[in-house]
Structure 1
């Protein structure tokens, strides 16, 4: 377990600066509601109900990108989830923000403008350098405590994440607490039975690194997605390469070929590869082909096939723990959701410890009417989940631990 303080340790009647991660898809200029709002609302509600003065920070997009926008709309969505007003100020640490913070009453909630609109926020620098920025030095004196609830951004060395714990008593919010505990379980917990990891998604580089790092912690890997095709390529099949205008495979193959081949060579007995793959047939319907029957890749494969889905069920059902990183197919298209949903259904029916990681994969639970309560933990983190699985330290967690040690 992490050695940080939580909001259970927060002194009464505090002025609290809280970092959330409300980064959302933007459509027609408006943020879309998602699981992050609901999760963070628990921390915000608990702090406000306890009578603290609650000031929130969050980011949205990056400068220069289409999703880089104000947080005004985020405040409205969050208010619906929290069940009380969330005021918004279009300023982060200027006079307008400071005046709004000063005017806040007990139990009131205020959201500051997008932290990434501040020059001090983004450059990756040491916590010590971030603590000296104008952003941190201006805001910190306004508060009694800092709470970090943004586990999904905890791998970043940004001012709002690592600067404040050096100058304020610091605590973990509920999302930070539960995400950290679940996502580090693979490294910190002992399981009685087999540990299985489902590996998919499009970022093969990430998951191949995880497979290598978790070599001794995981008994078997069930593969699909881009990583699954690249492993099939390493096993001698004519797949795992780009066709048409795709650019998912060849670059990642060149980057990871040696590692894939060594993992396959050393752990081949623990790695289950797809025996059939699904693609879009000439009539637009789902079509499937056995991997052994593929002489040349002429179509994009969009899911594992039904034989593979059936084969992945039994090893999941006899596992004591199952970790999911990445979808096995393009589940957003109902025709190619069988692999991802089939695996999730098998996990849901099994009495095992289970963590479903990555925002995209967790969306499938909602899309296909599965019950989130059937999983031990559904993570809203991507990069931080990868870091936790590979045992890499998370800078924002390290500074919370240091703050607790200094108290």
Structure 2
């Protein structure tokens, strides 16, 4: 169980500064609604319904990138999910923001401008340094308490995440609480039966690090995606390298070859590799080929094949716990969703503890009509989920734990 305080411990009638993660895809300059708004709305609604004065902080994009924009549109989307008005001020800790904060009445909600528009926010630094920034020192005196609900950003040492818990009594919101408990379950819970991990996606370095860290916790790994191809390469198959204009495999192989080969050598009995792969045929339709029949890689492989899904399903159905990190194919294209969706359906139908992690993979649940209720937890975190699985510390969680000891 977490050793931080939650909003259950928050005294009544407070002016509360709340950090959310509303980072969203931007299309035509407008933020797109997603699971994060729905999840964070629970914390915001609970605080407002309890009569607190609720001031929200969040980020969007990074300076210099196309998705770096104002949060004005985010306030409207969040208001729809909360069921209350969410005011917005195009300022973070200047006079305009401070006046709006001080004018709030009980139960009212205000969203401040993008935290990453503040110079003090982004550079990674110690909590002590962040607590001494003008951002924190100016804003903190206007509040009674700080709530962090941004688990998906908890691996960052940014001012809005690690500075305020040193300046104010600090608590975890509902998203922080539930994400932390589910994502650390692999290290903290005892399971009676086999523990299985489905690993895929495009970031092989992350996946391999997780496999290495969890070698004594996970009984078997079911591989797909870029990592799956790189492991097939290590096993001697002529795949797992770039073809044409592709730029996914060779650089990651160069970085991770030694680790991949050692993991395969030491845990080969626990690692299941794809027996067939899918690609786009000459007619534009999905085509499949057995891995053993591949003489050279002449095209990009976009999913695992039907035989692989049939091989993976029984392993899932006899598991006591299944953790998912990364998709097995390019599920955004319906032709290449069979692997990812087939595995998710098997998990949904199995009476096991299940966590689907990473924003991209969890999107497949919504896209293909699966129900979140059929999984123990669907995580909205990416980098923080990886950190939790590998046992690396999360700075924003550590400062909440330290705050609980002081309170």
Q: Report how far residue 177 of structure 1 moved.
A: 0.1
Q: Report how far residue 324 of structure 1 moved.
A: 0.1
Looking at structure 1, the residues matched to 152 and 178 of structure 2 have their Cα atoms a distance apart, in angstroms, of: 12
Aligned partner of 1:264 in structure 2 is: 264
Q: Report how far residue 285 of structure 1 moved.
A: 0.1
Q: Report how far residue 401 of structure 1 moved.
A: 0.1
Name the SS for the 2:363 alignment partner.
Answer: helix
Aligned partner of 1:292 in structure 2 is: 292
**Deviations 1:9-36 (CA, angstroms, capped at 9, x unpaired):** 0000000000000000000000000000
Q: Report how far residue 223 of structure 1 moved.
A: 0.1
Name the SS for the 1:354 alignment partner.
Answer: strand
Q: Report how far residue 242 of structure 1 moved.
A: 0.1
Aligned partner of 1:223 in structure 2 is: 223
Aligned partner of 1:110 in structure 2 is: 110
Name the SS for the 2:287 alignment partner.
Answer: strand
Looking at structure 1, the residues matched to 270 and 138 of structure 2 have their Cα atoms a distance apart, in angstroms, of: 53
Looking at structure 2, the residues matched to 210 and 376 of structure 1 have their Cα atoms a distance apart, in angstroms, of: 20
Aligned partner of 2:81 in structure 1 is: 81
Q: Report how far residue 309 of structure 1 moved.
A: 0.6
Looking at structure 2, the residues matched to 335 and 296 of structure 1 have their Cα atoms a distance apart, in angstroms, of: 23
Looking at structure 2, the residues matched to 69 and 246 of structure 1 have their Cα atoms a distance apart, in angstroms, of: 30
**Deviations 1:314-351 (CA, angstroms, capped at 9, x unpaired):** 00000000000000000000000000000000000000
Q: Report how far residue 379 of structure 1 moved.
A: 0.1
Moved runs in structure 1, 4+ residues, more than 4 A? none
Aligned partner of 1:23 in structure 2 is: 23
Aligned partner of 1:376 in structure 2 is: 376
Aligned partner of 1:315 in structure 2 is: 315
**Deviations 1:368-389 (CA, angstroms, capped at 9, x unpaired):** 0001000000000000000000
Q: Report how far residue 62 of structure 1 moved.
A: 0.1
Q: Report how far residue 103 of structure 1 moved.
A: 0.6
**Deviations 1:288-310 (CA, angstroms, capped at 9, x unpaired):** 00000000000000000000011
Looking at structure 2, the residues matched to 243 and 200 of structure 1 have their Cα atoms a distance apart, in angstroms, of: 19
Name the SS for the 1:54 alignment partner.
Answer: strand
Name the SS for the 1:171 alignment partner.
Answer: strand
**Deviations 1:265-292 (CA, angstroms, capped at 9, x unpaired):** 0000000000000000000000000000
Name the SS for the 1:139 alignment partner.
Answer: helix
Aligned partner of 2:53 in structure 1 is: 53
Looking at structure 2, the residues matched to 167 and 336 of structure 1 have their Cα atoms a distance apart, in angstroms, of: 49
Q: Report how far residue 167 of structure 1 moved.
A: 0.8
Looking at structure 2, the residues matched to 277 and 71 of structure 1 have their Cα atoms a distance apart, in angstroms, of: 42
**Deviations 1:95-123 (CA, angstroms, capped at 9, x unpaired):** 00000001100000000000000000000
Name the SS for the 2:241 alignment partner.
Answer: coil
Number of aligned pairs? 407
Looking at structure 2, the residues matched to 298 and 80 of structure 1 have their Cα atoms a distance apart, in angstroms, of: 49
Q: How do 1:144-155 and structure 2 match up within 5 A?
A: 144-155=144-155
Looking at structure 2, the residues matched to 245 and 185 of structure 1 have their Cα atoms a distance apart, in angstroms, of: 40
Looking at structure 2, the residues matched to 2 and 242 of structure 1 have their Cα atoms a distance apart, in angstroms, of: 43
Q: How do 1:3-402 and structure 2 match up within 5 A?
A: 3-402=3-402
Q: Report how far residue 2 of structure 1 moved.
A: 1.7
**Deviations 1:8-66 (CA, angstroms, capped at 9, x unpaired):** 00000000000000000000000000000000000000000000000000000000000
TM-score by length of 2: 1.00
Looking at structure 1, the residues matched to 65 and 370 of structure 2 have their Cα atoms a distance apart, in angstroms, of: 33
Q: Report how far residue 155 of structure 1 moved.
A: 0.1
Looking at structure 2, the residues matched to 272 and 405 of structure 1 have their Cα atoms a distance apart, in angstroms, of: 44
Q: Report how far residue 262 of structure 1 moved.
A: 0.2
Name the SS for the 1:147 alignment partner.
Answer: strand
Looking at structure 1, the residues matched to 335 and 351 of structure 2 have their Cα atoms a distance apart, in angstroms, of: 28
Looking at structure 1, the residues matched to 123 and 313 of structure 2 have their Cα atoms a distance apart, in angstroms, of: 45
Looking at structure 2, the residues matched to 2 and 238 of structure 1 have their Cα atoms a distance apart, in angstroms, of: 46
Q: Report how far residue 94 of structure 1 moved.
A: 0.1
Looking at structure 2, the residues matched to 353 and 4 of structure 1 have their Cα atoms a distance apart, in angstroms, of: 24
Looking at structure 2, the residues matched to 60 and 30 of structure 1 have their Cα atoms a distance apart, in angstroms, of: 11
Looking at structure 2, the residues matched to 165 and 2 of structure 1 have their Cα atoms a distance apart, in angstroms, of: 16
Looking at structure 2, the residues matched to 19 and 149 of structure 1 have their Cα atoms a distance apart, in angstroms, of: 6
Looking at structure 1, the residues matched to 209 and 12 of structure 2 have their Cα atoms a distance apart, in angstroms, of: 44
Looking at structure 2, the residues matched to 161 and 207 of structure 1 have their Cα atoms a distance apart, in angstroms, of: 26
Structure 1, gaps ≥5 residues long:
none
Looking at structure 1, the residues matched to 167 and 134 of structure 2 have their Cα atoms a distance apart, in angstroms, of: 13
Looking at structure 2, the residues matched to 361 and 297 of structure 1 have their Cα atoms a distance apart, in angstroms, of: 26
Looking at structure 1, the residues matched to 272 and 374 of structure 2 have their Cα atoms a distance apart, in angstroms, of: 24
Looking at structure 1, the residues matched to 219 and 110 of structure 2 have their Cα atoms a distance apart, in angstroms, of: 47
